[in-house]
Structure 1
Amino acid sequence: MEDKTGVPGRAGRGDEPDRPLREPAPIDRPRIDDAVAASFSRPKGVPGGFDPSRRGTPGPGPSGAPNENGVPGRPSGPQPADPALAQAFGPEDGTENGIQRHPSWQDEVSAPQPPQPDPWRDPQAPVGIGTPALEEQPHPEPVDLSRTDDTPATRLSLSEALFERRLSRRALGAAVAAVAVVALVGGAIGAVVADSARVLTTSTVRIADAPDNVVRPDNTVGDVAQRVQPAVVNIQVSSPSARGEGSGIVIDPDGYIVTNNHVVTMDGAADRADIDVVFSDGSRAPAEIVGRDPATDLAVIKVENVQNLTVAALGDSDSVEVGEQVIAIGSPLGLVRTVTEGIVSATQRPIALGESTSDGDVVIDAIQTDAAINPGNSGGPLIDGTGAVIGINTSIFSQTGGSIGLGFAIPVNDVRNIATELMTEGSIQHATIGVNARKADNGSVEGAEIVNVRDGSPAQEGGLQEGDVVTKVGDRLVRSSDELVIAVRRAGADNDVPVEVVRNGTRVELTVRPALG
């Protein structure tokens, strides 16, 4: 290529000027001394390397002939090995398979042969008959029962044991006995299961009876009630205009029966009425009123010509304790021989029985109980755990008319005294001091406030005045007007009794002698 001046230049863009070419860098060859050259240079007459592809690259002559430079060429093709080298490094079998193995490998086994092809995985494999899938089982050897070594014996089949006589008679008998025992046990279990299933599926009704030898728990309430019930009676009262009933107990073998005054008078509705007594055995007899005490709601009636009466045992009401178990027996709601059970929930509970049974101050010093008492229980006994009568059931507190666990009984010690007086005298009078009182409600003192004092009464003679608040009579504290009545009765008539009052904020002690009123 020439530039614009006609001087040859380097090929490039037309706007580049021609640059001079650099001379090639000289080759720096290290000096090789004669000893190194003698050791590592080519042999004389060998122009090239040892590459087998360059073997036989001599001149134009046949193999081994000199080339154009006069150097003899190497023969072409493989040359025979040196015998010494072939013996030292050639293969053992004489073949040209490669370099001989290391001497330490001489003891190794030859490589395993490749596995035969699996005809089941080769779809092109030919079809042929092979070995059977199951090998033929050898016939079992006879069992030697006499051997004593620990080698496990071959098990016998049922046919061998029964028909080929491989077991002794004794062993066969033991096996038969074991089978019989298993069959019996299985049959018993099957019978029980079948009977249980039949109970669930059969249409026949079977009611099992309780065994006779069952030990029943002690029935204390039942035993007490069974002893006392013959002494409890049902009292039926009727008049031309009314009818009522209640309960009572026999207190004397001559036919005396104690009950409530409001039972025989039908709550004051009749002065005289027909009274019938129904005993526990169902027999019936008419009764007459012997005497009654409206102030304590007690009455005594008597039946005639009734033999072999069971008399109730009277206990001691002063020894009754709160929490003691008690039993009530009577005819609530007309249901005769009804037994209820509870405890004593309070003692010395002053209770006013109300205007419906009142012929005066009707107040009792009651035993409170939670044993169920309902209309018809009135006049019936309240019994302790020994079977002794400790009270006569007389009233309940209820907003509905039914039992709510607040029943009241007249203490039997009061009943005994009053009933004896009624049986002998036909009437009774109680101690009184001749005052009307009410419960003190001024908040500063608790007691019975005197509202008025009758002229010439024991209270007037003892110095009591209107406005006095009685807080104590004898040894008994007074917390209400009802308790004042009870305290005066307990003190008795014709006995000087200390009375403590609060007058104008000052405590004053007086002496009063109650009288019969």
Structure 2
Amino acid sequence: MSEPEQGNGIPRSGIDDGANRRLAPRPLNRPPVDSGQAAVFGRPQGVPGAFSADRPSLNGNGAVQFAPPPPEALSTAFGRPQGDPDTRLQRPPVDLNGEPEVEPVFWEGKPAGDAWRDPAASAVIGPPAVTEQPDTETKPESPAGPQLSIPELLFGRRVKPMALVLLMVAALLIGTGGGVVGWLLGRVGNPLTDGGVTLAEVKPGKERPVGSVADIAQRVTPSVVSIEFKGANVAGVGSGVVIDGEGYVLTNDHVVAPAVQDTSAKLTVVFTDGKRAVAQVVGRDSKTDLAVIKVEVDNPTVLQFGDSDALAVGDTVLAIGSPLSLSNTVTEGIVSALHRPVTAAGDNGGPQITYDAIQTDAAINPGNSGGALVDSSGALVGINSSIRTETGGSVGLGFAISGNYARKVSQALIRDGEVKHADMNINVRSASAETAEGAQVQNVPEGGAADAAGIEEGDVITRVGDRMVRNAAELTVAVRNHEIGETVPVVLARQGRELTVQVTLRSD
């Protein structure tokens, strides 16, 4: 059944017009304009064109300016032939005779069955592309072939079972014989495998956990150096600690004093890797037995200061230095006592040495002077300085200058080349009685700190600030723990009475 014709009488898809020609475009459908939308979106009343009134040439009120004509050469090359009445943009191709070629349609005489003839045609699911039906008759299954046996699978041909068994027995005998021969050869001439020898049990590789003595020694020893001095009349070895990346080394004053007093002597610093460098004295403090020297060296290992005030009796400490010229020597011990005042005579009639010491039983011998006393974390808490002995060797009574005080003195020596200490400007001696002990005042110079505070000769000082005073050396270290210009309370005994006076400390 054919569909009715529309508009200009051209049939829709599915109707053959007899000439297999292309169909004309579908007629336009222009629905009526809504008057409401026209009022909203239409041109205002009195505006004839799409452009504003100030452009009359574009509204049709004036002459429109067109582009200039193309050059004659371009018109001749690309324009239409002169006198050609065909004004279409695309002309149909022509054959050799000048007749227009008629392009055959692509549906090859089947206009009704081609869905692409009319884009408006609905999609139809047609039959499958394969029209021939396969033969569905059941074919008889072929019988399965014989399965391969193990001999056929291994050797590709049939093997007698007896031959296969004999082959396996021969392989087993050959393997057993080879193992026995190897075992016999391994035992010949090797006493370690003799059954009559008992070997000592060997445990796995030794571990060195963090915080062990081996771990601390490995990290700290590169920062502890040997100090050699040699001149025409003097020679010796001491120790030192690198405390700054610019090459500053902290040591004892009595280590460098011989080299300073003998102008022919030279100070040499020897590092753990064998590197040697000439040292120059930066500053000395003979009253506390501390000195700072400097060497020119690249990228030295610096030992960090710890808090010596946080130590407690019984804490583990390591003494590192060069005792008896044996460099990189590490000894272990504990803190035996804290705040132990130590005094010694000065070199060549110099001032008396007095410092607040950490007592340790770590082995300290001549040559350890100026070396490091480190805690269980590897931090510097003291500078090894002296021992107390009746035999000349270490008997477990070693003394190190407090690390906090050594840091204070070393900073002043690096900064100023010298150091000043707080002082009460009095002379005292140790005194003891049945009920008390302290430092008895022998002389009070006029104009000094003690004179200004009202301290008199014969007074016995028993406390300075928070620290108890039991002898003359303890008074000195107690005063030096304060700053110059600081006012501290001083407890003293005078004619059986206890008095407290405020003393403003001055420089020594």
* Aligned-partner SS, 2:233: coil
Distance 2:202 2:393 in 1: 37
* Aligned-partner SS, 1:265: helix
Q: Is the Cα–Cα contact under 8 Å of residues 258 and 300 in structure 1 kept in the other structure?
A: yes
CA pair 397-197 structure 1, distance change in 2 beyond 3 A: closer
Matching residue within 216, 231, 243 for 1:251: 243
How far has the Cα of 1:256 moved from its partner?
0.6
Q: Does 1:412 align with 2:403?
A: yes
How far has the Cα of 1:443 moved from its partner?
2.8
How far has the Cα of 1:464 moved from its partner?
1.0
Matching residue within 449, 460, 463 for 1:472: 463
Matching residue within 351, 367, 370 for 1:360: 351
- Consecutive unaligned residues of structure 1, counting only runs of 5 or more, are 1-180
Matching residue within 206, 209, 213 for 1:221: 213
* Aligned-partner SS, 2:437: coil
Q: Deviations over 1:164-222 (max 9, x none)?
A: xxxxxxxxxxxxxxxxx9xx99xx99x999977996999xxx999957x4454648101
Partner of 2:224: 232
Q: How does 1:159-178 map to 2 (within 5 A)?
A: none
Matching residue within 373, 379, 384 for 1:382: 373
* Aligned-partner SS, 2:484: coil
Partner of 1:346: 337
Distance 2:194 2:348 in 1: 63
Q: Is the Cα–Cα contact under 8 Å of residues 363 and 482 in structure 1 kept in the other structure?
A: yes
* Aligned-partner SS, 2:432: coil
Distance 2:476 2:269 in 1: 33
Q: Does 1:402 align with 2:393?
A: yes
Q: Is the Cα–Cα contact under 8 Å of residues 265 and 272 in structure 1 kept in the other structure?
A: no
Q: Deviations over 1:215-259 (max 9, x none)?
A: 546481011010011111100012221111100011111111110
Partner of 2:288: 296
Q: How does 1:59-138 map to 2 (within 5 A)?
A: none
Q: Does 1:285 align with 2:281?
A: no
- Report the AA paired with residue 253 of structure 1: G
Distance 1:390 1:271 in 2: 33
Partner of 1:516: 507
Partner of 2:444: 453
Q: Is the Cα–Cα contact under 8 Å of residues 464 and 478 in structure 2 kept in the other structure?
A: yes
Distance 1:292 1:236 in 2: 17
Q: Is the Cα–Cα contact under 8 Å of residues 294 and 357 in structure 1 kept in the other structure?
A: no
- Report the AA paired with residue 255 of structure 2: V
How far has the Cα of 1:355 moved from its partner?
3.8
Q: Deviations over 1:380-407 (max 9, x none)?
A: 0001111111110000001111110011
Distance 1:273 1:410 in 2: 26
* Aligned-partner SS, 2:243: strand
Partner of 1:433: 424
How far has the Cα of 1:356 moved from its partner?
4.2
Partner of 2:14: none
Distance 2:265 2:214 in 1: 35
Q: How many residues are aligned here?
A: 337
Matching residue within 308, 315, 318 for 1:317: 308
Q: Does 1:497 align with 2:499?
A: no
CA pair 195-427 structure 1, distance change in 2 beyond 3 A: closer
CA pair 421-198 structure 1, distance change in 2 beyond 3 A: closer
Q: Is the Cα–Cα contact under 8 Å of residues 236 and 276 in structure 1 kept in the other structure?
A: yes
* Aligned-partner SS, 1:302: strand
How far has the Cα of 1:441 moved from its partner?
2.6
Q: Does 1:334 align with 2:325?
A: yes
Distance 1:198 1:493 in 2: 77
Distance 2:190 2:244 in 1: 62
Matching residue within 461, 473, 491 for 1:482: 473
Partner of 1:48: none
Distance 2:195 2:261 in 1: 63
* Aligned-partner SS, 2:396: coil
Q: Is the Cα–Cα contact under 8 Å of residues 492 and 498 in structure 2 kept in the other structure?
A: yes
- Report the AA paired with residue 497 of structure 2: T
Distance 1:200 1:354 in 2: 69
Q: Is the Cα–Cα contact under 8 Å of residues 345 and 351 in structure 2 kept in the other structure?
A: no
* Aligned-partner SS, 1:313: coil
Q: Does 1:275 align with 2:267?
A: yes
Q: Does 1:391 align with 2:382?
A: yes
* Aligned-partner SS, 1:423: helix
* Aligned-partner SS, 1:447: strand
- Report the AA paired with residue 368 of structure 2: N
Q: Does 1:424 align with 2:442?
A: no
Q: Deviations over 1:48-68 (max 9, x none)?
A: xxxxxxxxxxxxxxxxxxxxx
* Aligned-partner SS, 1:416: helix
How far has the Cα of 1:359 moved from its partner?
2.8
* Aligned-partner SS, 2:446: coil
How far has the Cα of 1:312 moved from its partner?
0.7
* Aligned-partner SS, 1:237: strand
CA pair 444-369 structure 1, distance change in 2 beyond 3 A: same
Distance 2:271 2:208 in 1: 30
CA pair 380-194 structure 1, distance change in 2 beyond 3 A: closer
How far has the Cα of 1:271 moved from its partner?
7.1
* Aligned-partner SS, 2:481: helix
- Report the AA paired with residue 343 of structure 2: A
Identity %: 46
Partner of 1:371: 362
Q: Is the Cα–Cα contact under 8 Å of residues 378 and 392 in structure 1 kept in the other structure?
A: yes
Distance 1:226 1:197 in 2: 36
Q: Is the Cα–Cα contact under 8 Å of residues 238 and 274 in structure 1 kept in the other structure?
A: yes
Which structure has the bigger radius of gyration? 1
TM-score, normalising length from structure 2? 0.60
CA pair 444-357 structure 1, distance change in 2 beyond 3 A: farther
